[in-house]
Amino acid sequence: MIALVIAGTGLFWIAATALGAWLGWSQRARALCDLAALAGFGMAIYMLFDLWRARRNDKD
């Protein structure tokens, strides 16, 4: 699941950047897409940390 979040966010970011350049979006619209991608990657880091913590607690 975490790998899908990372891959999906990466594909979204690449597509949004290319589409923004092709359609001539403003810098504000491109920055919004960058912030959405940053949120997706942040969510993936949180999910990885949560997985690591759960595995560590289940060890005992």
Taking the domains of the chain in order of start, what are their residue ranges? Answer: 2-58
CB 20 within 8 A of CB 30: yes
CB 34 within 8 A of CB 13: yes
Is the pTM of the predicted complex or chain greater than 0.95? Answer: no
Query: What digits encode the pLDDT tens for the residues 34-55?
Result: 999 999 999 999 999 999 999 9
- The tokens describing 17, both together, are 């950047």
Please state, in angstroms and as integers, the Cα–Cα distance from residue 33 to each residue in 4, 9, 28, 55, following that order: 18, 10, 9, 33
The whole-number pLDDT of residue 58 equals 84
- Residue 40's nearest CA partner among 4, 15, 6, 14 is 6
